[in-house]
Chains A and B, each alone.
Chain A
Amino acid sequence: MFNYLLKRLAAIVPTLFFVSILIFGLQQLLPGDPAVALAGEDNDPNVIAYLRGKFHLDEPLPVRYWYWLDGVFHGDLGESVRIHKPVTELILEKLPVTIELAVLAMLIALVIGISAGVASAVLKDTKWDYAANIFALWGLSTPNFWLGILLILLFAVKLGWLPASGYVSPFEDLKANLAAMIMPAFVLGNAIAAVLMRHTRSAMLQVLSSDYVRTARAKGLAERVVILRHALRNAMVPIVTLGALQLGELLGGAVLTEQVFSIPGFGKLIVDAVFNRDYSVVQGVVLFTATAYITLNLLADLAYFVVNPRMRG
């Protein structure tokens, strides 16, 4: 297991290197001159020339890449041209918000997705199974922004139970924080729950028809023990993988949901940065989320050893 971990850690370095080239390269493909975009509505040629010089926009691509990489190695991800704030500061500002939203959404997704998936597999071809499948279809086919706006109209505008949008730090007011986060977390969790439910169901169906489950039942084990300890544990491997991927995606920011609920996370940050050609912010945030994504995948792989004893050999 130790060797495996070492190999995986060693693979992170070249992966991140390629990711950094990809981020940098893809960004250059964006149409439009970043200096013109950043100069604002006055389009002042002096400002455009100044911005070109400041951000080395006239230099060849490899040179610009080197400037950036050099900064990254020194812990400097650059500065947002739009609001004049260091990118590291922006990331640290958004990170707790993004993590909280991702974790809450994931919790909702896991609770709903796994329980619905297990129930649907165990009670296959019953009305519960059909209901769970309809729920999954609904979750998969409902656009986040639409569900978000409907929830706002119902719970904030009509009933007045929850705030329509905005973010309050949990350290400032935990109750207000949860009230602000519950709707966006549900919107995100709802979509992921649907995916998780489908995967849990198919993994459980496969496991439930295997020999060792039949043996466990023949030994006279309680059905609850058979399902939760024997079947679900083995079915968890694909669910853990999927969960980690989904969590990684959530950490990359949930653009539409953040926009609708005005949650100041990575999604809003990166979209605004792309539209304003605020390159340092785009590069910094994508590099950060890519690192988080790769780390989560590694953790998911390690989790296999925990949930499935057969893999420890």
Chain B
Amino acid sequence: MKFSRLVFALSLAAALPSFAQALRIGLAEDPDVLDPTLARTFVGRIVFAALCDKLLDLDEKLAIVPQLATSHEWSPDYKALTLKLRQGVTFHDGEKFDAAAVKFNIERHKTMQGSNRRGELAPVTSVDVVDPQTVRLNLAAPFAPLLAVLTDRSGMMVSPKAAQAAGDKFGAAPVCSGPFRFVERVAQDRIVFERYANYWNKGAIHFDKVTYLPLIDATVRLANLKSGQLDLIERVAPSDIPALGKDSRFKVAKIVEIGYQGVTFNIGKSDLAQKYPAGKDPRVREAFELALDRDAIVQVAMEGEALAGNQWVAPTNTWYAKNVPVPKRDLNRAKALLREAGVINPTFTLMTPTTSDAQRIGQVVQAMVKEAGFDLKLQSTEFSTSIDMADKGQYEAYLLAWSGRADPDGNLHSHLACKQPLNYSGNCRADMDELINKQRATVDRAERLKLFEQIAAIESKDRPIVYLFHRHWLWAYTNKLSGLRTVPDGMVRLQGLRMN
């Protein structure tokens, strides 16, 4: 009798890990449409990490690693990228993942009405199915960021059959090939996925269900973690980190983001650029930068949870141009520059979003530059309005955060090349444009880094954007959870994550 009880207890214990385990993740926003072709928000990418596998992925050091493609090879002229595909992969509807599916997906990204991937994949002219497990992407010209582009939504593969059947309604019930399949979504409430039994890497998945809950207020998000309603939360408020660090029930993880926070100056977006001192005279922008103590901004406005920086990538990034280090604060030089420019007390307005972080940063910057003689006005503006004003050039300076892309080009080309969509400064210099386009076409790493150094040298003299810092992605989670990988893109990868 006793023996049979023991056997029963042991078999129960052995069965325990396979019991339904659920993971609840608190998000800082409600994601937009769950269709990788149409999706346009950072938070949506966090959810996609569980749902849609990509051709390639990133590791903690931002190196490109295989996911659905097991290897890649450039042609000698870098105008074709051949990808070998993983065998035995199926979509959540049971359809096979193969080269034809890749061709369908790339073409869908490029041609679907309203696609947000069209720009990223513009250099891809055609896709050849070499054999069922090999696909070739043909390019008009060499395009170095392509591999990184395929680690994000452009590399996400959806089931061709489901996508064709659902048309533009695909996002309501997406079918991909990731570790979890879509179950339900209640807008502003929850997104629920369940484990996909035939996932190619199922050994790395230790949950049966994952639920994403958008909780916009950081205090409420944290309260839910503390009360046990959530297992993991993203974008923890920096001010909550010290207390969390002392609470043994929770762990905190952080990494420097791939994006940046900076002040964009209107230097040519509209006529307004010539009507205020910092828009028309680079010496005033230099004085502005020299009046800033970036480390102090990070300490005061971000509670130390950021890394001071002066380029589109962080100083810890392998693409950082070391020839242009973060300048030190120099008030005397700043004042001298203002005297030279003939404006001892330049006045202009810094537009900031309405978040408390943005307002705090604005106030710290305002106080710092005041010591050099600047009379900086702050204008807190609702986000959609601020983007529209920036787009139309109806601003002088704009405090803007960019979530970042794995390849430095994603933080640079659209922001600083002539007439690009995110070029709110109106920066347009032939020499810089030439270098930006050249780095895009340069696949050789060392050569490309040299080009970035030249671009950084020009940018740091002209300063259409004065970069301030790079935030830490901050996650907090129950101490029972292990295996969280901190990748600078801010995603929560569920492979390897387990509850102990």
Seen from chain A, the residues whose Cβ lies within 8 Å of a Cβ on chain B are 30-33, 36-37, 39-47, 50-51, 54, 80, 82-85, 90, 93, 149, 152-153, 156-157, 160, 163-167, 259-262, 264, 268-269, 272, 275-277
Contacts and interface: CB of A to CB of B under 8 A. Distances in A.
A164 B220 contact: yes
B223 A153 contact: yes
Contacts of A41: 40-42, 402-403
B76 interface: no
Contact of A37 (B216, B217, B384): B384
B290 to A, nearest CB: 30
A48 B270 CA distance: 20
Given A40-B40, A269-B188, A276 B422 contact: no
A55 to B, nearest CB: 11
24 contacts: A31-B388, A32-B387, A33-B388, A37-B384, A37-B387, A39-B40, A40-B116, A44-B118, A47-B115, A50-B114, A54-B114, A83-B32, A83-B33, A84-B172, A93-B187, A153-B223, A156-B229, A163-B227, A163-B229, A165-B229, A166-B189, A264-B188, A269-B188, A272-B30
A122 B41 CA distance: 58
A208 B186 CA distance: 51
A277 B382 CA distance: 12
A10 to B, nearest CB: 36
Interface string B370-409: 0000000000001111011101000000000011000000
A152 to B, nearest CB: 5
A46 B219 CA distance: 38
Contact of B223 (A82, A152, A268): A152
B385 A32 contact: yes
B442 interface: no
Nearest to A90: B187
B187 A85 contact: yes
Contacts of A51: 114
Given A32-B385, A32-B387, A37-B388, A259 B422 contact: no
B223 A149 contact: yes
A11 B227 CA distance: 50
Nearest to A38: B40
Interface string B164-192: 00001101100000000000011111100
A82 B33 contact: yes
A32 B384 contact: yes
A164 B41 contact: no
Interface residue tally of chain B, by bracket? 35 or more
Contacts of B216: 259
Contact of A36 (B32, B214, B223, B391): B391
Contacts of A157: 223, 226-227
B229 A166 contact: yes
A54 B38 CA distance: 14
Interface centre among A31, A39, A84, A275 (most CB of B within 10 A): A84
5 shortest interchain CB distances as A-B pairs: A40-B40, A264-B189, A32-B388, A37-B384, A156-B227
B132 interface: no
A46 B119 contact: yes
A83 B187 contact: yes
B414 interface: yes
Contacts of A40: 32, 39-41, 116
Interface of B: 30, 32-35, 38-42, 113-116, 118-119, 168-169, 171-172, 185-190, 213-217, 219-220, 223-224, 226-229, 382-385, 387-389, 391, 402-403, 414, 421-422
Given A41-B42, A157-B226, A160-B227, A275 B382 contact: yes
A196 B226 CA distance: 36
Given A40-B41, A82-B33, A84-B171, A269 B187 contact: yes
Given A32-B385, A33-B388, A47-B114, 11 more contacts: A31-B382, A31-B388, A32-B389, A40-B39, A46-B115, A84-B172, A85-B172, A153-B223, A160-B227, A165-B220, A260-B217
Nearest to B387: A36
A149 B213 contact: no
A160 B228 contact: yes
A89 to B, nearest CB: 9
A47 B39 CA distance: 11
B417 to A, nearest CB: 13
Contacts of B385: 30-32
B361 to A, nearest CB: 19
B79 to A, nearest CB: 24
B45 to A, nearest CB: 11
Contacts of B219: 149
B106 to A, nearest CB: 17
Contacts of A269: 187-188
A277 B118 CA distance: 23
A40 B113 CA distance: 15
Contacts of A165: 215, 220, 223-224, 229
Contacts of A46: 115, 118-119
A170 to B, nearest CB: 15
Contact of B421 (A42, A153, A167, A272): A42
Contacts of A152: 220, 223, 227
B469 to A, nearest CB: 19
Given A149-B219, A149-B220, A84 B116 contact: no
Contacts of A163: 227, 229
Contacts of B168: 84
B116 A42 contact: yes
Contact of A276 (B34, B169, B229, B384): B384
Contacts of B30: 272
A45 B115 CA distance: 11
Contacts of B226: 156-157, 164
Contacts of B383: 275
Contacts of B116: 39-40, 42, 44, 47
Contacts of B39: 40
A161 B391 CA distance: 49
A5 to B, nearest CB: 37
A160 B33 CA distance: 35
A84 B35 contact: yes
A46 B122 CA distance: 12
A149 B188 CA distance: 19
B5 to A, nearest CB: 33
Contacts of A277: 384
A166 B213 contact: yes
B384 A43 contact: no
Contact of B215 (A36, A85, A262, A272): A262
Nearest to A42: B116
Contact of B388 (A36, A44, A45): A36
A275 B353 CA distance: 12
B35 A264 contact: no
A157 to B, nearest CB: 5
A230 B185 CA distance: 52
B38 A275 contact: no
A272 B188 contact: yes
A42 B393 CA distance: 17
Given A46-B118, A269-B188, A156 B388 contact: no
Contacts of B402: 41
Interface centre among B217, B228, B402, B414 (most CB of A within 10 A): B217
